[in-house]
Structure 1
């Protein structure tokens, strides 16, 4: 579940996420934040290399998904530019 970071903390570690493909007919979207995952902090990417990888559904917690959208919350695979 997403929570507020400590004061002055810009980057937090995320636990390892294991992806398991499955077919879902009805997707539960209430209370989930569709979090984008990028290769690099530059969200626009680079010439010939898009930065966006996948969107990951994370529990938004009591604040709701709109709160995390306004904050620009995203997952990064690498901190190198």
Structure 2
């Protein structure tokens, strides 16, 4: 169901009384607000299309062990020589 909650015309600023569909001053059609239920939970597409998660998955794949040789730190190499 559509309803309006305007106290004034958004186009000319004239005061509105009642629930008119047309402004009595400028004769323009007033916008209609629709009340649709908003879900509290995020939609499934937003959950699956998470760019941060996708980027982190790619990062982890690139940094997977065994894919690149692991280089010992300077101090570890120095201590191994002693």
**More helix per residue:** 2
For the pair shown, the structure with the greater C-alpha radius of gyration is 2
Q: Is the TM value for this pair above 0.5?
A: no
Structure with the larger RCO, 1 or 2 (CA within 8 Å, 6+ apart): 1
TM-score, normalised with respect to structure 1: 0.17
TM-score, normalised with respect to structure 2: 0.17
